[in-house]
Amino acid sequence: MNTEFLTIGEIKKLLAEGKITCEELVSNALNRIKKHDHEIGAFLHVADDEALAEARRVDAARAAGEELPVLAGIPIAIKNNILVQGRKATAGSKMLENYEAAYDASVIRRLRAAGAILIGETNMDEFAHGSSTENSAFFTTKNPWNTSKVPGGSSGGSVAAIAAGFVPAALGSDTGGSVRQPAALCGVTGLKPTYGRVSRYGVIAMASSLDQISPCARTVEEVAELFSVIAGSDDKDATTVDKPHYFSFENIPNDVKGLKIGIPKEYFIEGMDENVKKAVLEAVELLKTNGAEVEEISLPHAEYGIAAYYIIMPCEVSSNLARMDGIRYGHAVDGKNLLDTYLKARGEGLGPEAKRRIMLGSFTLSTGYSDAYYKKALRVRELIRRDFEEAFKKVDIIVTPTSPSVAWDIGAKFNDPLTMYLSDIYTVTANLAGIPAMSIPCGFDQDLPIGLQMLAKPFDEESLFRAGKFYQTITDHHFKHPKL
């Protein structure tokens, strides 16, 4: 049976009805990866034997009449900055090329407990720095819709693995848009949960005050299911919050009647790609015709989002990457003395973008500059958070584009970091404010997917699921897929 592009729900049904075994499902996925991933480059490693053994265990448990957990037998791909015990955790860096994870991240423990099959680790920009996966130390992932285009980043591998029909779902991480933006560029659905929803224990940190592990899949329903499994407080991450996080998707109303949608007037201005703008506004119109109330809102400090993010994030990066010195972690080199050892290890192990961010962060944190840059950026971050707080007194969700354009040519922005940074314009503010945000497919421009972003108040993922569920009931962009 052909099993690519099935949703988690469809797979579960086929498994439960005995129309397919888990072993068949997993070997189909592995064969498809073998056949096509050389064109796409979604995976850094594929755990063939382990995945098949796990699949057989699920089949045996089912045959024995055992009660199976919620994701039993569902193949999931994992971004390679999330630790999976015994597997390489490279974070897309030469520095960690040979680093084997000593333990499972908390999200991985939860996925395992839910019966998911961890089929392999996906490519990413080095240490999650980037918007295209071109910063991976290993290779660039291609967009399955058009292999001359970037898939977005930094979770490009996870999202491409879904778009290419290798897996129904994956985990990525989102520090400034790294799940939402590739989801938009590859035509899948991706959720950045509220800061504190999902444990970061066992994630190779990029910027700890902004990072959230983020589920992606083709539909909102699958994303919500994955979210329910991985979210929740964890004593290994003191920033996690103990709040109810299990959403029964069935019980989420499938309508938008009375849902208040805010359109930020600062976002829909000159310079945005016309076709992206049109698709997003058409989606809003569709929700309005179905009973949503749409009003213009203002996020007056949003224009400083990129500037604040590209100061705060490198500061945190410079301190998080300090441990990558060849002694505590990573690429080890024998130097003449300690300093020489550090210089060589970091010089050889880290790529240009990581070095750029370490230098920017070290500079803006140094004496005399931290007040002018870092502390000022923190104040701007608070203003951005308050903008959202004010806006959410009036509306339930805010709608924007996810990315100002569709996927661009590989190489087009690679040598121009500033232009690359600007592509994060609509996504970074959610991380700065700690609020949940989700990207869903809302149309196409020149055969490339367009993503719509919805934002909600802290811990109100449910409003995103509601609007997304209804939108995906009345549209089918999310079910279109590229031909490989």
The residues that are catalytic are 79, 154, 178
Per CB under 6 A, residues contacting ligand GLN are 128-131, 154, 173-178, 206, 313, 424
Shortest separation between residue 67's beta carbon and ligand GLN, angstroms? 38
Q: What are residue 149's DSSP bridge partners? A: 409
Q: What is the DSSP string of 368-388?
A: TTTIIIIIHHHHHHHHHHHHH
Q: Which residue's entry shows tokens 């990457």? A: 321
Sign of CA dihedral 383, 386, 391, 392: positive
Using CA atoms, how far apart are residues 359 and 368, in angstroms rounded to an integer? 16
Of all residues in this chain, which one has the CB nearest to ligand GLN in the complex? 178
Residues 6+ positions from 44 with CB-CB distance below 8 Å: 80, 88, 90, 92, 120, 121, 122, 123, 138, 157
Write down the least CB distance from residue 245 to ligand GLN, Å.
22
All residues at 6 or more sequence positions from 173 whose CB lies less than 8 Å from its CB, including other chains: 79, 81, 82, 128, 154, 155, 179, 203, 206, 211, 212, 213, 214
Q: Which residue carries 């491409």 as its tokens?
A: 160
Sheet with strand 212-217: strands edge to edge: 43-46, 117-122, 75-79, 169-174, 212-217, 189-192, 437-445, 448-456, 397-401, 260-264, 293-297
- Among candidates 481, 417, 404, which has minimal Cα distance to 143? 481
Between 7 and 427, CB nearer to ligand GLN: 427
Least distance between ligand GLN and beta carbon 407 (Å): 14
Cβ proximity to ligand GLN: between 3 and 175 the closer is 175
Q: Which is nearer to ligand GLN, 28 or 123 (CB)?
A: 123
Classify the C-alpha dihedral 68-218-23-142 as positive or negative: negative
Report in angstroms how near the CB of residue 133 gets to ligand GLN at its nearest: 11
Nearer to ligand GLN, 27 or 209 (CB): 209
CB of 453 to ligand GLN, least distance (A): 14
- As a whole number of angstroms, the distance between CA 236 and CA 223 comes to 24
Q: How far is the CB of 16 from ligand GLN (least distance, A)?
A: 36
| In contact, 426 and 403? CB cutoff 8 Å | yes
Q: Is 178 exposed, middle or buried, given 0-12, 13-18 or 19+ CB atoms closer than 10 A? A: buried
Query: Cβ closer to ligand GLN: 287 or 428?
Result: 428
| Shortest spacing between CB 152 and ligand GLN, in angstroms | 9
Q: Which is nearer to ligand GLN, 174 or 237 (CB)?
A: 174
Token duo for residue 223: 């994303």
Closest listed residue to residue 154, CA positions, set 467, 473, 420, 445 = 420
CB of 427 to ligand GLN, least distance (A): 7
Task: Report the alpha-carbon distance of residue 22 to residue 11 in Å, rounded.
Answer: 9
Angle at alpha carbon of residue 293, lines to 290 and 297, rounded to 5°: 140
Please identify, using beta-carbon distances, which residue of 178 and 194 lies nearer to ligand GLN: 178
Closest CB to ligand GLN among 130 and 168? 130
User: 27 preceded by cis ω (within 30°)?
Assistant: no
Q: Which residue has the tokens 């750029």?
A: 356
